[in-house]
């Protein structure tokens, strides 16, 4: 599922086909009764004005982009069960649980509405990743990737991606293709795709949701391919970019994967004296993350390939307990037609009274009206209620986001960007 915001995606699609605002409005004026001038369009694209549904449909029509599933790709108009199944599928693939992923994918494919358009692109993207993880031959996966890419823009050329806007599941489909090229030994083709994707993602704002989702995995894949190609300076550049991005997101500068690649690149350049601190940071970071197997691999490589030793401070004797990954950490879905019925179902499932659920958040009468569908409820009340129920607000907000809520959440996102940029006075 794409993490792009609606307004941002409209801008990117317009830029992708080289259509200026004035030109788009002139084309629309001869066919539409909706009054939309350049000021309105600029405000919509600048996230200062929430576009109406009819306006979005019209803009997409003249940009020649499928309207279905646009605002929240893959889940718009779907049931809550479908929304959570999509999230389950992504989590399973991220942790390599192919059995669970195959089961959830089959459930999604059996649901109504997932057989065409942008929904089909989502399915193709996840099926390609699943087939890759289960070792299916490249010849079976490439047609799936091509079918997915064709759902948005059939003319996308993997050899001409620099400066091209990538939307919806296109980045993930292309990333999977690059990994397949690398696996089959065509490192040059893989590097070409990953380098273009890195340049495209680097141009997005620091707090952009798509960048948060894709940037680190793409950089890690690029680092691995550059290592195979013997481009050690390129590896160091990719690792430096990954460290900078991680630090900006308060995730620490020392991602152990990047640190290990950095050590390998320094050894390749003959700068062996600089390898020790990178290897140390990789080892201790893996141990702190509970990834003892990876930490052991670093330790073995340190002794065998680098001829380096460093003090472990008995960290290797901690015996960190490995917790099995839960199939889904946010609870099973509940059938509902509105935010009110969903809260009621979750509250009953949690064996909570209305008073217990709303204490310190809102009045019991307010919660009763929300559950009864007589009050929409402000986003921050709903957010607190969902958190108390142990659910992630981001999974559900598209079902009840009002115009006022939209503005509030846009302001919050803007504050977050300003804080990341250390522009505290503006924030």
pLDDT in tens, the chain (427 residues): 344 456 666 777 777 667 777 777 777 776 666 667 777 777 767 666 666 666 766 776 766 665 544 444 444 455 667 767 787 788 789 888 899 899 999 988 888 766 666 778 889 999 999 999 999 999 999 999 999 888 876 666 777 777 777 777 888 999 999 999 999 999 999 999 999 988 888 776 655 556 667 888 899 999 999 999 999 999 999 999 888 777 655 556 678 889 999 999 999 999 988 999 999 889 888 887 777 888 888 888 888 888 877 877 777 666 544 444 333 344 555 666 677 888 898 888 888 899 989 988 889 999 999 898 887 777 778 888 887 887 766 666 555 555 566 667 667 777 877 887 788 888 8
Angstrom CA distances, 388 to 352, 366, 385, 393, stand at 11, 16, 5, 11
Q: Are 46 and 139 within one domain? A: no
* Whether residue 348 is found in the same domain as residue 266: no
Domain boundary among 211, 226, 241: 226
Q: Answer yes or no: is 334 within a domain.
A: no
Half-sphere CA count of 50, side-chain side, radius 13 A: 13
CA separation for the pair 426, 422 (Å, rounded):
9
Q: String of b and e for 302-327 (b: at least 16 CB within 10 Å)?
A: beeebebeeeeeeeeeeeeeeeeeee
The encoded tokens of residue 380 equal 């921050």
Residue whose token pair is 């009206």: 369
Q: Identify the H or E element spanning 118.
A: helix 117-133
- Dihedral angle sign, alpha carbons of residues 418, 419, 422, 424: positive
- pTM of full prediction above 0.75: no
Q: Are 49 and 39 in contact (CB under 8 A)?
A: no
The domain of 147 spans: 79-226
| Residue in this structure with the two tokens 């990737």, named with its chain if needed | 145
CATH number of the domain where residue 373 is located: 1.10.260.40
- Please tell me the predicted confidence (pLDDT) of residue 78: 58
Indicate if 278 and 395 belong to the same structural domain: no
Measured distance CA(190)–CA(183) in Å, rounded = 9
The residue out of 299, 314, 329 marking a domain boundary is: 314
Instruction: Report how many domains make up the chain.
Output: 4
Q: What is the CATH number of the domain that holds 10?
A: 1.10.260
Look-up of token digits 């308060």: 250
Helix residue ranges, H only, 249-336: 256-268, 275-288, 292-304
Answer yes or no: is 171 within a domain.
Answer: yes
One domain, residues 170 and 220? yes
CA distances from 361 to 330, 340, 342, 343, 383 (A): 21, 16, 18, 14, 10
Residues 259 and 216 in one domain: no
Residues 225 and 383: their CA atoms lie apart, in Å, by 42
Residue 83 forms part of a structural domain = yes
In a domain, 74, yes or no: no
pLDDT at site 24? 75
Contact 171, 155 (CB under 8 A): no
The CATH number covering residue 146 comes to 1.25.40.10
Q: Are 264 and 227 in contact (CB under 8 A)?
A: yes
Q: What ranges in 290-399 are assigned the alpha helix state H?
A: 292-304, 339-349, 354-358, 364-371, 379-388
User: What is the rounded CA–CA span in Å between residue 380 and residue 386?
Assistant: 10
239 and 218 co-located in one domain:
no
Q: Are residues 207 and 240 in the same domain?
A: no
How far apart CA 187 and CA 390 sit, in angstroms, is 44
Q: Does one domain contain both 281 and 356?
A: no
- What is the maximum span of the chain, computed from C-alpha positions, in angstroms? 75
**Same domain assignment for residues 218 and 120:** yes
Distance of CA 22 to the CA centre of its chain: 32
**Is 84 found in the same domain as 199?**
yes
Last residue of a domain, one of 173, 191, 226: 226
HSE-up (13 A, CA, CB side) for residue 48? 6
20 and 155 together in one domain? no
Do you know the residue count of the chain? Answer: 427
Residues 294, 262 share a domain: yes
């Amino acid at each position: 599922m794409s993490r792009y915001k609606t307004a941002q995606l409209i801008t990117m699609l317009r830029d992708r086909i080289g259509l200026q605002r004035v030109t788009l409005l002139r084309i629309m004026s001869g066919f539409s009764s909706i009054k939309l001038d350049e000021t309105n369009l600029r405000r919509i694209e600048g996230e200062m004005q929430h576009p109406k549904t009819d306006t979005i449909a019209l803009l997409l029509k003249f940009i020649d982009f499928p309207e279905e599933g646009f605002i929240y790709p893959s889940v718009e108009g779907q049931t809550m069960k479908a929304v959570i199944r999509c999230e389950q599928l992504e989590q399973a693939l991220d942790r390599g649980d192919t059995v669970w992923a195959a089961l959830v994918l089959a459930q999604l494919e059996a649901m109504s509405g997932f057989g065409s358009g942008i929904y089909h692109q989502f399915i193709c993207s996840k099926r390609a990743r699943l087939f890759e993880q289960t070792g299916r031959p490249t010849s079976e996966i490439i047609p799936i990737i091509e079918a997915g890419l064709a759902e948005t823009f059939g003319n996308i050329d993997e050899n001409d991606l620099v400066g091209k806007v990538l939307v919806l599941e296109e980045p993930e489909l292309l990333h999977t293709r690059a990994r397949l090229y690398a696996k089959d030994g065509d490192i040059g083709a893989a590097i070409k795709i990953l380098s273009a994707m890195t340049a495209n993602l680097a141009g997005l704002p620091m707090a952009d949701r798509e960048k948060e989702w894709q940037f680190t995995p793409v950089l890690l894949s690029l680092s691995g391919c550059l290592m195979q190609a013997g481009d050690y300076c390129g590896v160091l550049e990719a690792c430096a970019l990954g460290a900078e991005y991680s630090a900006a997101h308060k995730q620490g500068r020392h991602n152990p994967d990047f640190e290990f690649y950095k050590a390998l690149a320094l050894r390749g350049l003959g700068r062996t004296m600089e390898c020790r601190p990178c290897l140390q940071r990789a080892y201790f970071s893996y141990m702190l993350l509970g990834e003892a197997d990876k930490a052991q691999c670093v330790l073995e490589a340190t002794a065998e390939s680098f001829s380096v030793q460093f003090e472990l401070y008995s960290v290797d004797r901690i015996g960190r307990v490995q917790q099995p990954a839960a199939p889904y950490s946010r609870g099973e879905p509940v059938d509902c037609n509105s935010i009110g019925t969903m809260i009621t179902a979750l509250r009953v499932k949690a064996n909570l009274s209305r008073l217990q659920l709303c204490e310190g958040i809102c009045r019991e009468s307010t919660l009763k009206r929300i559950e009864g569908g007589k009050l929409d409820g402000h986003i921050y009340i709903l957010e607190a209620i969902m958190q108390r129920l142990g659910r992630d607000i981001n999974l559900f907000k598209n079902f009840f986001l009002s115009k006022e809520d939209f503005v509030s959440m846009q302001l919050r996102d803007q504050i977050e960007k300003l804080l990341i940029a250390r522009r505290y006075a503006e924030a």
